[in-house]
Structure 1
Amino acid sequence: MHCSRCGAALPSAPPSVCAACGYHVYVNARPTSGLIIHRDGEFLALLRAREPRAGLWELPGGFCDGAEHPADAAVREAREELGVDVELGELVGMYPGTYDYQDETLLVLDCIYLASLAPGASITLDPAESAEMAWFPIAAPPAMAFTTMDHALTDVQKLLVP
């Protein structure tokens, strides 16, 4: 690994201090936002259409832009991936995980929110993102593409399943 400020070799993997310029190098998680859209004891899952983990179920969501608040990112991602507005509920939790991208394993912090579809909403999937959608029982979710989503669904069962 090299210093992102001066390019010198680092003495160790981050967190580390560059011996050449004294810059403190950290590897911080990238924030993401996801949604557990629920109705009548079920939640909406999407079948991933692209790598990583194409062909596996996931929650709608994605990376936060710049200084975008995760709640705003969740609402934006619903519009982009589903073509709908959602009524954002409470934060279920924040889950550290990884995401494989461009031959690199990125650290992520997934912020997962409860949500419901706005009245009269009609979902239109973005085919570049999702091959299909399905509603699954919150009490019996399928294995998800990312373990952070499995953990969030386990936590939301405690909130929503009697």
Structure 2
Amino acid sequence: MTHHCHRCGTALPAAPPVDCPACGYQMFLNARPTATVIILDGDRFLSLVRAREPNAGRWDLPGGFCDGWELPADAAVREAREELNVTVRLDRFVGMYVGGYRFQDETLPVLDMFWLATIVDGQLRPDPSEATGHDWLPLADPPPMAFSTMDSALRDAAALLAGKY
């Protein structure tokens, strides 16, 4: 957590949101955007076994942080290409969920965005630095995922496909 002003370096009297007492700069702690795909094959979705911390070894979905000024939908397509070696077509937007991501000894707020997606090109070859394995799992009964926002998104995706939304 930053305890100094980003602009002038003065020690801050409290955690953000806070105004710097020296220069008046307003500091906020905003959620970092992520983009994730739920790739479907009938009533199953593609899940990866997470290769790195946090939550290494847990089931995961392909996705990651948006780059600065990158549109989240573009980030979702890029992440699928980088992690799986495939091109996806984004289908319906599932939703946005606020969660936490443990990184460098702090928990960062994240705004996780999820899309249903379909593979349209390429040979599925997960990047071994991202995943130690993969499988097609039932959307109606998914296992616990690496992050709670994924659990919520999968429940909402199943409801969306069942016409409950």
Q: Same fold (TM over 0.5)?
A: yes
Q: Gapped runs of 5+ residues in structure 1? A: none
For residues 14 and 52 of structure 2, the distance between their equivalents in structure 1, rounded to whole angstroms, comes to 34
1:52 is aligned to 54
1:159 is aligned to 160
**CA offsets 1:15-52 (integer angstroms, 9 cap, x no match):** 01111111100011111100000111111100001111
Q: CA deviation at 1:117?
A: 1.1
For residues 159 and 52 of structure 1, the distance between their equivalents in structure 2, rounded to whole angstroms, comes to 29
Q: CA deviation at 1:122?
A: 2.2
Is it true that 1:138 corresponds to 2:139 in the alignment?
A: yes
Q: CA RMSD in A?
A: 1.1
SS of 1:154's partner is helix
Letter in 1 for 2:66: C
Q: CA deviation at 1:161?
A: 3.5
1:111 is aligned to 113
SS of 1:118's partner is strand
For residues 17 and 87 of structure 1, the distance between their equivalents in structure 2, rounded to whole angstroms, comes to 43
Is it true that 1:72 corresponds to 2:74 in the alignment?
A: yes
SS of 2:154's partner is helix
SS of 2:74's partner is helix
For residues 38 and 126 of structure 2, the distance between their equivalents in structure 1, rounded to whole angstroms, comes to 16
2:14 is aligned to 12
Letter in 1 for 2:146: A
2:151 is aligned to 150
Q: TM-score, normalised by structure 2?
A: 0.94
SS of 2:57's partner is coil
Letter in 2 for 1:51: E
Q: CA deviation at 1:91?
A: 1.2
Indicate conservation of the 8 Å contact 1:139/1:161, yes or no.
no
Matched residue count: 161
1:32 is aligned to 34
For residues 13 and 66 of structure 1, the distance between their equivalents in structure 2, rounded to whole angstroms, comes to 24
**CA offsets 1:96-153 (integer angstroms, 9 cap, x no match):** 111111212111111111101116x420110000000111111100100000101101
1:127 is aligned to 128
Letter in 2 for 1:92: V
Q: Structure 1 runs of 4+ off > 4 angstroms?
A: none
SS of 1:85's partner is strand
Among all aligned residue pairs of Structure 1 and Structure 2, give the percentage whose two residues are the same amino acid.
58
Indicate conservation of the 8 Å contact 1:30/1:63, yes or no.
yes
Q: CA deviation at 1:7?
A: 1.3
Is it true that 1:87 corresponds to 2:89 in the alignment?
A: yes
